[in-house]
Structure 1
Amino acid sequence: MLAELAPGAPELASAESFHAGVILAGTPVVIRSLCADLPAAQAARASARAALDHVLSFDTGRRPQVFLGDPAIGGRYYYSDDLSGFNFTRVELPLAQAFAHMLRHADDPSAPTAYLGSLVAPAYLPGFAEANAVPIVPPQVEARLWIGNPSTAATHYDAYENLACVLAGARRFTLYPPDAIGDLYVGPIDHTMAGQPASLATASADPERYPRFAAARDRAITVDLAAGDALFLPKLWWHQVEATAPVNVMLNYWWDATAIGPDAPLLAMLLSMIAIAERPEAERAAFRAFFDHYVFRPDGHPLAHLPEDRRGVLREIKGAGYGPIRAMVLRALRGG
């Protein structure tokens, strides 16, 4: 069971209070009715068509990429059976045409489904974000829209904090903590449906092929969101997302709320893969000890035994130390 916040909770007073009271805790939180009063959500209460018309009122005519799925896939946009391709097609369509596909399927479930994901509002729908602002999100963070028929987004993680607000329809999130990664049987990291690698086990009912998934399944948390509700997810939490109404609209925001510079943690992990992952076991164990000491710091600051003014670039990495360390890395990568 996840913690829930109701309207008027002090953590929702501002972006700063949300950061201090929710984000830094590092656990998912359900926020009921957070977006219920947004104009887009109000339009959705009239009808699905009204919800889509509200979005279209900001349309500039750009053609986003849309997923189209045969009715046989049941809205589960996923890999082909041999993982070489996918079970849907990608096309570029005007928004009005994409929405017509969605409404056609809503009236006739035998029609193909349509799904439009990660639509950057400022680029495609200027003014939408300002008209539907969520005060707990920093103003510089881009709003994105996810619109479509019933669909299932395969279990994946995001590299950023994620605030997801249901504007129309309903969403079911199935969550797994970051340390469930070994039990989820993750697919390739460079051949993905929408950017992030996905779990293969959560889309399969084959316990012989994925025996460890039982441990992850026992830890799964299911969250149902109605129109107006929101979910906050910290970075690296695994989640499957099911849109369950004939037409669904979700607003989301991604941002790295704890960054101290421009470098992403997952880039460091990728570099570590080619630098360390296939060295001998004893050597990997030695580097694990160094990573624990300098990076994960279970015992506190690695130079706590030195006076602060003798800790060099490690005195305060998010202050004066960030730039010199970054310069050292760049010089090494350039071979300087």
Structure 2
Amino acid sequence: MSGAIAAADAEALADAEAFRERVMVPARPVLLRGAARNWPLLEGGANGVVDTLHRFDAGREAEIFVGQAAIEGRYYYDAALTGFNFVREELATREGLRRIAGSAAGPDGETLYMGSLPSERYFPGIERLTPLLFLPDTVLPRIWIGHASNVACHYDMMDNVACVAAGRRRFTLFPPSAIGDLYVGPIDRTLAGQPVGLAVDSAPGDPRYPRFETRRQDALVVELEAGDAIYIPKLWWHKVEALDALNILVNFWWDGFAAGPDRPWAAMLLAMIAIAERPEAERAAWRAWFDHYVFRPGGHPLAFLPEEQHGILGPLADGNYRRIRAAAMQMLRG
């Protein structure tokens, strides 16, 4: 590990605005040790959490991953990268909870994983038992429950606070700048929504992934126990290992810096079809334009003019978001 993950101070956790400015703006992972320790949800330990999930269960069906003993909880592609080493089943949430908790202590061979269950759909009201003062009121929890597992290194397009409710979790993180060295797999055939870094679990010296050797030492690794949490900024790569027979995670996803409903991912997809296969010299020209108007390493592109002359390059909140979006949509419609 090349460095430790910074821990948040008490002032940063006082309210949503302090958390946004002190923790989120730097866009680095932050350890929130003990942030969920006093949750009512955690009373009674792992079995108590399971009992509470049953009590709040809304009776919906959910998807569960089922892996045979041979995969040892590592949900991944098959050897040819054309399929997966696990199967998906649809079943009632209560049945999934029963199967996971009921087999946690027994070597029945298969591993089970049921994740990303929005509280408002699957466990309405349970958010009263998971309070965090530093989250916006509109951000609701998602529940993840399963056996010991290894979830492949991936990223999220939302800011993430992940809280361990039962068991232990090990997070291995890489910065967004590592994307070219992680050998990222297909973006349209994924395990659970996001592409994964194929090199991260490889053995040292694997000839398939030579560039990853320069990145191994960049990994940030931290282990969390029940009541601990971690903030993971959007686009940070993270592998997540659930270390005990029964593991429960509660996470919160939101975009702390959105100016509207449009996502950066949509802009990147459009850039792929508009720019990616143009000649190298033209791509370099467009890179200069993107840097100037979008990424702005030299500051605002019209900083040399009075603000009243900035036009649609003025603040998005002043109506420019709507103006730019309308112009883009008109172009897309032809």
Please say whether Structure 1 and Structure 2 have the same fold, judged by a TM-score greater than 0.5: yes
Give deviations 1:101-149, integer Å, cap 9, x for gaps.
Answer: 2234322224311101101111011111122222211111121011000
Structure 2 SS opposite 1:182: helix
Corresponding residue for residue 79 of structure 1: 77
Give deviations 1:67-111, integer Å, cap 9, x for gaps.
Answer: 111011010111111111111111112223212322343222243
My pick for the range that moved more, 282-291 or 200-209, is 200-209
Superposition pairs for residues 1-336 of structure 1, below 5 Å?
1-5=4-8, 9-44=10-45, 48-205=46-203, 207-335=206-334
Identity %: 50
Could you tell me which amino acid in structure 2 is paired with residue 23 of structure 1?
A: M
State how far apart, in whole Å, the 2-side matches of 1:298 and 1:82 are: 42
**Paired residues of 2:8 and 2:32 also in contact (CA < 8 A):** yes
* 1:277 Cα deviation after fit: 0.5
**Paired residues of 2:8 and 2:23 also in contact (CA < 8 A):** no
* 1:300 Cα deviation after fit: 0.8
Aligned length: 330
**Paired residues of 2:163 and 2:251 also in contact (CA < 8 A):** yes
Could you tell me which amino acid in structure 1 is paired with residue 190 of structure 2?
A: T
Give deviations 1:4-42, integer Å, cap 9, x for gaps.
Answer: 136xx1111112221122111211110111111112222
My pick for the range that moved more, 129-138 or 224-233, is 129-138
* CA-based RMSD: 1.3
State how far apart, in whole Å, the 2-side matches of 1:2 and 1:204 are: 23
Gaps of 5+ in 2: none
TM-score, structure 1 normalization: 0.95
Point out 4+ residue stretches in structure 1 off by more than 4 angstroms.
none
Structure with higher RCO (Cα < 8 A, 6+ apart): 2
Structure 2 SS opposite 1:172: strand
Could you tell me which amino acid in structure 2 is paired with residue 79 of structure 1?
A: Y
State how far apart, in whole Å, the 2-side matches of 1:103 and 1:34 are: 25
**Paired residues of 2:162 and 2:250 also in contact (CA < 8 A):** yes
Structure 2 SS opposite 1:285: helix
**Paired residues of 1:58 and 1:125 also in contact (CA < 8 A):** yes
State how far apart, in whole Å, the 2-side matches of 1:261 and 1:83 are: 36
Could you tell me which amino acid in structure 1 is paired with residue 265 of structure 2?
A: L
State how far apart, in whole Å, the 2-side matches of 1:10 and 1:272 are: 40
TM-score, structure 2 normalization: 0.96
